[in-house]
Amino acid sequence: MTQTALPGPGPGPAASPSQPPHPPRSPHPRRWAVLAVVLAAEVMDLLDATITGVAAPAIAAGLGGGRDVVQWLQAGYTLPFAVLLVTAGRLGDRFGRRRLFLIGALGFTLASALCALATGPGWLIADRALQGAFGALLIPQGFGILKEVFPAEELGKALGLFGPVMGLCAVGGPILGGVLTQSDLLGTGWRSIFLVNLPIGLAALVGALRWIPRTRPAAGQRLDTAGMVVVGASSAALVFPLVQGPELHWPVWTFVVLALAPAGFALFGRLQLRSTEPLVTPSLLRNRCFTQGIAVAIVFFASFSGLILVLSLFLQGPLGMDPQGAGLAVAPLALGIAVTAGPAGALAARRGRAVIQAGILLSATGLALLAGVAWMSAEDTSAWRLAAGVFVTGLGMGLVIPPLFDVILAGVADDEVGSASGVLNAVQQLANSLGVALLVTAWTGFVDHGAAPTSALAATALLTVALMAAALLLSVRLPDRLRP
Taking the alpha carbons at both ends of the chain, their separation in whole angstroms is: 24
Identify the pLDDT of residue 130: 95
The arithmetic mean of pLDDT across residues 473-482, rounded, is: 86
Among the four given CATH numbers 3.40.50.970, 3.30.2350.10, 3.40.50.1970, 1.20.1250.20, the one describing domain 27-215: 1.20.1250.20
pLDDT score recorded for residue 4: 52
State the pLDDT at residue 401: 87
Dihedral in degrees, nearest 10, Cα atoms 73, 74, 76, 80:
150
* pLDDT of res. 9: 36
CA dist 83 and 132 (Å) reads: 10
Domains 27-215 and 284-484 equal at CATH topology level: yes
- Asked if 233 contacts 55 with a C-beta cutoff of 8 angstroms, the reply is no
Give the CATH superfamily of 284-484. Answer: MFS general substrate transporter like domains (1.20.1250.20)
* Residue closest to 171 by CA, chosen among 308, 300, 266: 308
Out of 17-31, 345-359, 467-481, least confident range? 17-31
What's the pLDDT at 69? 87
Which is more confidently placed, 400 or 8?
400
pLDDT tens column, 200-229: 999 999 999 999 988 777 666 677 888 889
Distance CA 129, CA 481 (A): 37
What's the CA gap between 463 and 364, in Å, rounded? 10
Average pLDDT over residues 189-194: 91
pTM, two decimal places: 0.83
Q: What span, in angstroms and rounded, lies between the C-alpha atoms of 178 and 159? A: 30
Dihedral (Cα; 368, 358, 422, 148), 10-degree rounding: 130
Residue with the larger pLDDT of the pair 2 and 138: 138
Higher pLDDT, 18 or 185: 185
Please give the average per-residue pLDDT across 178-203, as a whole number.
89
What whole-number distance in Å separates Cα of residue 285 and Cα of residue 197?
37
Is the confidence at residue 16, as pLDDT, over 60? no
Check residue 121 and give its pLDDT.
92
> Model confidence over 95-110: pLDDT tens digits?
888 999 999 999 999 9
Interval 459-475 mean pLDDT: 94
pLDDT at 21: 45
Q: For the beta carbon of residue 126, count every other beta carbon within 10 angstroms.
A: 16
What is the per-residue pLDDT for 220?
A: 60
pLDDT tens sequence across 380-430: 777 788 999 999 999 999 999 888 888 888 888 888 887 888 888 888 888
Phi, psi of 7 (to 5 degrees): -80, -170
What is the pLDDT at residue 357?
A: 95
Give the Cα separation of 228 and 272 in Å (integer): 10
The sign one gets for the Cα dihedral 170, 176, 182, 184 is negative
Quote the CA–CA distance of 270 and 227 in Å, as a whole number: 9
Write the DSSP symbol of residue 78: H
Predicted confidence band of residue 10 (pLDDT cuts 50, 70, 90): very low
CB within 8 Å of 297: residues ≥ 6 apart: 404, 405, 408, 424, 427, 428, 431
pLDDT at 290 over 70: yes
Mean pLDDT of 40-61: 85
pLDDT at 339 over 80: yes
Highest mean pLDDT among 183-192, 234-243, 276-285: 234-243
Of these ranges, 89-98, 164-173, 466-475, the one predicted with the greatest mean pLDDT is 466-475
pLDDT recorded at residue 202:
94
How is the chain split into domains, by residue range?
A: 27-215, 224-276, 284-484
Torsion angle of the four alpha carbons 475, 476, 480, 482, in this order, in degrees rounded to the nearest 10: -10
Q: Within 13 A of 349's CA, how many CA atoms are on the CB side?
A: 6
Summarize the confidence of residues 323-333 as an average pLDDT.
Answer: 87
Please report the pLDDT score of residue 219 as a whole number: 63
Q: For residue 88, what pLDDT band results from cuts at 50, 70 and 90?
A: confident
